[in-house]
Amino acid sequence: MYKLEAKNANLWYGKKQALKDISIGVEANSVTAFIGPSGCGKSTLLRCFNRMNDLIEDTKIRGEFLLDKENIYTDMDIYELRKRIGMVFQKPNPFPKSIFDNVAYGLRIIGEKNKTVIRDKVELSLKHSALWDEVSGILNKSALSLSGGQQQRLCIARTLAIDPTVVLMDEPASALDPISSAKIEDLIYELKKEFTIVIVTHNMQQAARVSNKTAFFYLGELIEFDDTKKMFTNPQNERTQNYVTGRFG
């Protein structure tokens, strides 16, 4: 049974078709990587799963998107959905608030008032995202005073604080230096024990290192989807072969 699934997904931005009849299933407690050249539709598909594309005007979506067999677009409330499927963005985007308030944001919007509950959850989430040791003494400082890599881990902590089951990551390390990037990768490896992770990445090595399964997209189509090992050593499709070996893209 798939945790997350798309069936015959099509999407248009205005007249331009960005996704062409994509069907894909993501297993629970695994890391699935979406790779492909820019404009291939990997981020667009990712954003369908928590309905972030709804924010873009003139978008038309067809097909089925399922979370635990429930239809994302018809069977559940959009706000409920986004609490179950969290998202981490390309550029770290902490709120201009304190570190504590950033992580507590999600709890506060669902109406959590109990200070002890909030404090415990903030600590747990920061430990989860391997940031606690660095920030435990400066929780009241502005999140913007952190480094880029720390900010991104803070954004992950913020997402984890509302107990999602799926975490979508849209090139989470592409704006970071190699060391911060490696920390994020270690973190992803840890997180898959508890969460289902889908990650979009431009970095082949990263996909090969962190993911269990890899999907290769090209011009809005899903070209190949298989175990990561197989995708990188023995891809069935010539275009996949060319892309993963760096011959184009």
Partner 1 sequence: MNTRNYSRGKLTDKVFKYTALTFTLFALAILVILLVDIFSKGLARINWDFFRNLPSRHANRSGIMTAMAGMLSLLFFTIIIALPIGILAGVYLQEYGKKNRFASFIEINIANLAGVPSVIYGILGLTLFVRILHMGNSLIAGAFTLALLIMPIIIVATREAIKAVPNSLREASYGMGATKWQTTSKVVIPSALGGILTGIILAISRAIGETAPLLVIGALVYVPFIPEGPNDQFTTLPIQIFNWTSRPQADFIINAAAGIIVLLLITFLLNGIAIYIRNKWYKKIKY
Reference 35, options 129, 4, 24, 64; nearest CA is 24
Q: At what angle do helices 115-128 and 99-109 cross, to 10 degrees?
A: 120
CB of 94: closest distance to partner 1 in angstroms?
Answer: 8
Considering only residues 45, 46, 135, 155, which one is a binding residue for partner 1 as defined by CB under 8 A? Answer: 155
Q: Does 89 bind partner 1 (CB under 8 A)?
A: yes
Q: Are 11 and 60 in contact (CB under 8 A)?
A: yes
Give every CB contact of residue 181 below 8 A, 6+ residues apart in sequence: 149, 173, 206
Which residue's CB is nearer to partner 1, number 162 or number 222? Answer: 162
Q: Which two tokens stand for residue 170?
A: 């849209």
**What CA–CA distance (Å, rounded) separates 194 from 164?**
10
Q: For residues 140 and 130, give the distance between their C-alpha atoms in angstroms, rounded to a whole number.
A: 18
Q: Does 93 engage in binding with partner 1 (CB under 8 A)?
A: yes
- Tell me, what DSSP letter sits at residue 188? H
87 touches partner 1 (CB under 8 A): yes
162 in contact with partner 1 (CB under 8 A): yes
CA distance 189 to 219: 29
Site pattern 26..65 for partner 1 (x: CB under 8 A): ------------------------x-x--x----------
Question: Binders of partner 1: how many residues, by CB under 8 A?
Answer: 28
CB of 247 to partner 1, least distance (A): 33
The piece of 29-37, 103-111, 176-184, 203-211 that touches partner 1 (CB under 8 A) is 103-111
Applying CB under 8 A, does 96 fall inside the site for partner 1? yes
Binding residues (CB under 8 A) for partner 1: these are 50, 52, 55, 79-83, 86-87, 89, 91, 93-97, 105-106, 108-110, 142, 144, 155, 158-159, 162
